[in-house]
Amino acid sequence: MRLRRAFCLTCYWHQNAFTAHPYPDGRPVALPAPAAELLDAFGTWSTPEEAAKTLPAYDPQTVTEAAATLLAHGLLLAEGTPEAERDEHLARHWEHWVPEAAFFHYATQHDVYETAGEDDRHDLTADGRPPLFTAYPQAHRVLLPRVPAPLDAPLGEVLYRRRTHRRFAGRPVPLPALAALLSTVFGPVDYIDGGGFGALFRRTSPQGGARQELDAYVGIRSVDATAPGWYHYNVREHCLELLAGGCTAEELATLCGGQGWAADACFVVVLVARVERMLVKYRNPRAYRVCLLDAGHLGQTFVLTATALGLGPFQTGAFHDTALAARLNLDGVTSVPLYVLGAGLPESTPDPDARPAGLTAFRHTTL
Ligand SMILES: Cc1cc2nc3c(=O)[nH]c(=O)nc-3n(C[C@H](O)[C@H](O)[C@H](O)COP(=O)(O)O)c2cc1C
């Protein structure tokens, strides 16, 4: 029987053990480090005897026995089996996303309920319980107006009026509009009893476990009566806490992955995950997916609210994580930027490059 190393296999050290983790369905297995040499010998279809010839330091019988163990763990696959075909299909289909994205997806698709009962944790001490709110008590702050947001536009109209804006009128955004946007999207709506975790708050967006791990940081370039700079939005005080002065057009374009149009945005809002707030309850790595989903929910509420307030919103997945974290004085470990939103005053054409699809475009479309 000929064997081959699984294409969909990620190896790493975990808790000081060399670990091989096959996906989509395999389990991580701790192995002695020489197993890497053995796996390496099965880069192409080979019998254990053939592989043993490339491993002169090992006794052929040992290689055969070890290969049987690696096969049992799905690290080696047997030629002609459905497992081998699926492995090849996955590696080919996910192509450039292998290994990072494919590994993350498949390695977090199981064991959702392995740590069930987490909700009932009463063992958290005051020290172990992450604060509900992020705050910079020493920072200079801008207290924001509490003008009720005129959010009475019909939902249907707002839904169909929303577009991603990449062109903006050259005027500053009124401060009450920014204030209303921040409080509507990020402010607490009410408080619920989270058991051992104490009180939790809810927002206008659903958020996994009501953990509210996402904080809003605001880069202001052009907002009425507000100095350009990088701020944290303190949801409890409804204020902007100054972290660093200055926020230029060039900086916005650079931080948004070199996208020139972002230079004209009046402000950006960076969604930053406070990792511990989620991790302390959900110890399964699948919870990281929920952080990303939570960011999407906040993003959608942001763009709809901004539209209802007469702003031209956008969102971008392209941004420089480390440069952005550094600008916000975040360590990039306990607090990680996940999503960048922004807005300005809309131009009549939100996106000059978005032309209606005509006959030529449809000729080049697989419907
Ligand atoms: C998660 C996400 C990431 C995006 N990233 C970018 C981006 O990096 N650059 C950009 O110009 N547009 C980005 N967009 C905007 C999309 O290109 C836009 O939504 C799409 O063209 C549809 O246009 P619409 O938003 O007006 O409906 C992103 C949208 C989403 C939802």
pLDDT above 60 (res 228): yes
The owner of tokens 């419907």 is 367
Which pLDDT belongs to residue 121? 57
**Residue whose CA is at the smallest distance from ligand 1 atom 25:** 164
Q: What percent of the chain has pLDDT over 90?
A: 90
Residue 258: count other Cβ atoms within 10 Å of its Cβ: 11
Instruction: Give the position, in ligand 1's atom list, of the atom nearest the Cα of 261.
Output: 11
**170/329 Cα distance (integer angstroms):** 29
Across residues 340-346, what is the average pLDDT?
A: 98
Which pLDDT belongs to residue 124? 59
Instruction: Give the position, in ligand 1's atom list, of the atom nearest the Cα of 257.
Output: 8
Lowest mean pLDDT among 97-111, 114-128, 174-188, 252-266: 114-128
Instruction: Please check whether residue 181 is in contact with residue 302, taking contact to mean a CB–CB distance below 8 angstroms.
Output: yes
Lowest mean pLDDT among 84-93, 109-118, 185-194, 272-281: 109-118
Helix axes 287-308, 175-186, angle to 10 degrees: 140
Find the radius of gyration of the CA atoms of the chain.
Answer: 26
Which pLDDT belongs to residue 116? 47
**Residue whose CA is at the smallest distance from ligand 1 atom 23:** 164
pLDDT above 80 (res 125): no
pLDDT above 60 (res 311): yes
pLDDT above 90 (res 174): yes
Using a 6 Å CB cutoff, which residues line ligand 1? Answer: 163-164, 259, 315-318
pTM: 0.95
**Structural domains of the chain, with CATH:** 3-107 (3.90.930), 120-344 (3.40.109.10)
Instruction: Give the position, in ligand 1's atom list, of the atom nearest the Cα of 166.
Output: 11
**359/351 Cα distance (integer angstroms):** 21
Distance 351 CA to ligand 1 centre (A): 11
Summarised one tens digit per residue, pLDDT across range 240-260 is 999 999 999 999 999 999 999
Across residues 161-180, what is the average pLDDT?
A: 97
Which pLDDT belongs to residue 351? 81
* Most ligand 1 atoms within 8 A of CB, residue of 164, 298, 304, 347 to mutate: 164
Which pLDDT belongs to residue 286? 96
pLDDT above 80 (res 127): no
Distance 316 CA to ligand 1 centre (A): 6
